[in-house]
């Protein structure tokens, strides 16, 4: 039962990363841990394009996505919704007992900066959530255009999820003026699941300090207090911190510009493969994600059969569509450590498997 994942998370983890995780445990209050934490901090700040601290939370991304709302929403949060993850953020805010507005766009559409401006102009909101790269639909919103709108509303704290775009394309936090950026370990960073990373601006931290109902586990103020000592509030997932350190070395060795270029090249190559088979992107091409491609299954291929062949014959797995797009779209990740060679192998396997895949299953 050994196969390689090309689903948009979790994704394949390199042998080098896995080996890094097997180092002996250290105490999370020891000077060894402090040295580890402080050594990776500047590298993380550089990848996030920020001078703000980067906190490490032991949870999947949702832990911090919920935590950010609890820390930062005092009056009302506006949730930009254009896919499964961003839709759920609204539900999460409501479950946290917050007043939450829904700014809805069709699945596959990006967040529209003009619509955002109109809604924020009502003055009803003190924070905004949005997802840069909606993984469910393979849609990447225009973050610089959105950030320009957000900067017109200095009292509104911006919370941006970059779970599947972090380190795929440059996201220049401080220059864009974004308050909070969240990412997770098992997508663009190609680590196993279980670690979330979040960088928080000083004004967001000041807001958090006045929020009465922010809990403990994801309390940004606790994170900051511990950060100043080179530590985390509770015992972190130390093997994943080792893995993160190793990944940061990989990124440094490749060079971040080369990493962005590699993602773009492999993403384009898969798009070209799709186009040659009559698969257009589900979103408009200019808003297509650069870390995955979400193709419309217009030809009505039996995606379950396709994946079965891919897995049993080639040891590869792609995704057959998320939620209500199951069967109507399929998604292929090019995140993490993929190379021209591994994507070439995937394409050869896809061609081989497609040839024996039944079609005509009407995508309802």
Ligand X SMILES: *Cc1c(COP(=O)(O)O)cnc(C)c1O
- Residue closer to ligand X, measured from CB, 278 or 323: 323
**DSSP at 319:** B
Q: How far is the CB of 331 from ligand X (least distance, A)?
A: 11
User: Quick one: tokens of 131?
Assistant: 């997802």
Q: Where are the alpha helices (DSSP H) in the chain?
A: 15-20, 31-47, 61-72, 84-95, 113-120, 143-150, 173-176, 202-209, 220-227, 238-254, 256-276, 303-309, 340-355
Q: How far is the CB of 313 from ligand X (least distance, A)?
A: 28
Compute the least distance from the CB of residue 163 to ligand X, in Å: 4
Cα–Cα separations (whole angstroms), residue 43 to 47, 52, 243, 311: 6, 12, 14, 37
Note the residues at the interface with ligand X (CB under 6 A): 9, 60-62, 85, 131, 135, 161, 163-164, 184, 187, 193
Count other Cβ atoms within 10 Å, centred on residue 112: 18
For ligand X, the closer of residues 135 and 232 by Cβ is: 135
Q: Minimal distance in Å, beta carbon 185 to ligand X?
A: 8
**C-alpha pair distances (Å), 69 with each of 120, 131, 132, 211, 282:** 17, 14, 17, 10, 30
Nearer to ligand X, 72 or 140 (CB): 140
Residue showing tokens 């974004």: 178
**In the complex, what is the shortest distance from the CB of residue 38 to ligand X, in angstroms, rounded to a whole number?**
26
For residue 277, give the 3-state DSSP assignment: coil
Q: How far is the CB of 346 from ligand X (least distance, A)?
A: 20
Closer to ligand X by Cβ: residue 247 or 349: 247
For residues 177 and 193, which CB has a smaller minimum distance to ligand X in the complex? 193
Looking at the DSSP bridge assignments, the partners of residue 37 are none
For ligand X, the closer CB: 65 or 205: 65
């Amino acid at each position: 039962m050994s196969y390689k994942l090309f689903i948009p998370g979790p994704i394949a983890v390199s042998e080098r990363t896995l080996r890094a995780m097997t180092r002996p445990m250290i105490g999370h209050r020891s000077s060894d841990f402090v040295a580890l934490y402080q050594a990776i901090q500047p590298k993380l700040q550089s990848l996030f394009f920020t001078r703000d601290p980067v906190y490490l939370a032991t949870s999947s991304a949702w832990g911090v996505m919920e935590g950010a709302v609890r820390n930062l929403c005092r009056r009302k949060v506006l949730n930009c919704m254009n896919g499964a993850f961003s839709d759920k953020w609204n539900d999460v805010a409501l479950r946290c007992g917050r007043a939450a507005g829904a700014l809805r766009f069709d699945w596959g559409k990006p967040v529209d900066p003009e619509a955002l401006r109109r809604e924020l102009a009502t003055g009803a909101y003190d924070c905004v959530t949005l997802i840069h790269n909606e993984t469910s639909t393979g849609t990447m919103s225009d973050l610089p255009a959105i950030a320009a709108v957000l900067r017109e509303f200095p009292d509104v704290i911006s919370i941006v999820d970059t779970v599947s775009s972090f380190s795929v394309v440059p996201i220049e936090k401080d220059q864009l003026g974004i308050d909070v950026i969240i990412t997770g370990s098992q997508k663009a960073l190609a680590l196993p699941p279980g670690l979330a990373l979040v960088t928080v601006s000083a004004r967001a931290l000041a807001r958090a300090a006045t929020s009465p109902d922010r809990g403990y586990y994801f309390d940004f103020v606790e994170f900051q207090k511990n950060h100043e000592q080179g530590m985390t509030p509770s015992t972190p997932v130390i093997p994943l911190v080792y893995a993160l350190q190793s990944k940061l070395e990989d990124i440094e060795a490749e060079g971040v510009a080369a990493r962005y270029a590699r993602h773009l090249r492999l993403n384009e190559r898969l798009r070209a493969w799709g186009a040659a088979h009559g698969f257009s992107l589900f979103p408009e091409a200019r808003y297509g994600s650069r870390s995955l491609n979400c193709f419309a299954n217009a030809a009505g291929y039996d995606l379950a059969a396709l994946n079965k062949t891919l897995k049993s014959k080639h040891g590869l797995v792609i995704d057959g569509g998320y939620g209500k797009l199951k069967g109507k779209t399929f998604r292929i990740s090019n995140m993490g450590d993929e190379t021209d060679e591994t994507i070439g192998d995937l394409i050869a396997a896809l061609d081989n498997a497609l040839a024996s895949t039944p079609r005509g299953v009407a995508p309802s």
